[in-house]
A = this chain, B = another copy of it.
Amino acid sequence: MSADSNPKNADQRYKDRMVRKKAVVDQSIARADQDRGVLLVLTGNGKGKSSSAFGMLARALGHGMQVGVVQFIKGSYSTGEEAFFRRFPEVRYHVMGEGFTWETQDKERDRAAAQAAWDVASELLSDESVSLVVLDELNIALKYNYVELEQVLEAVAKRPAMQHVVITGRGAPQALIDVADTVTEMQVVKHAFKAGVRAQKGVEL
């Protein structure tokens, strides 16, 4: 009888492997002993950037935190997340008035709307009662120069020490990645839209 076919040995090996894994995990956890506000950047072309930010919003609400959201580009959408999170008094929610830039085709109007959204973001970033700030699609506003990168870097650096910030959108500028604590690049493996499925309520909308 080989060692592999002996269930007792297999169980023991499983246990041994898990004991070693637990030791490694516990050690990593012990090493990570700081508590502070983190800056997260969610970028890349894949689906999940904004929804991830809204998932963190739900987590924060689960802990009774005050939170803020500014949506920089998706203003023309009537999204499920907006309908949902506006129900809660703990959420300050601002949507930029204009929607995707190729819908309006007017640079000055787009820039003015983005700046008004940025003013709300700045306020949230200087309010220590706000534990989590989501700046949804800010990277797009940065790409079109509707909001200045310098302004963003400065506001983020000066924010309250325990405040978390999540910035989403494809094409995050390198300077923002450099100052971030956690950065995820979401890559498209495949997307239903390409297969002819339109955006679905509860998934994209």
Residues of A within 8 A of B (CB): 11, 14-15, 18-19, 21-22, 25, 28-29, 31-38, 40-44, 46-63, 65, 67, 79-85, 100-108, 131-132, 164, 177, 180-193, 195-205
Contacts and interface: CB of A to CB of B under 8 A. Distances in A.
Given A58-B81, A62-B84, A84-B62, A189 B177 contact: yes
Closest 9 CB pairs of A and B: A62-B80, A51-B55, A60-B202, A59-B80, A62-B84, A54-B55, A183-B189, A181-B192, A46-B184
Nearest to A84: B62
B102 A22 contact: yes
A197 B108 CA distance: 41
A103 B22 contact: yes
The copy count of this chain in the complex is 2
Residue from A35, A191, A192 having most chain B Cβ neighbours under 10 A: A192
Contacts of A108: 11
Contacts of A54: 51, 54-55, 58-59
B34 A59 contact: no
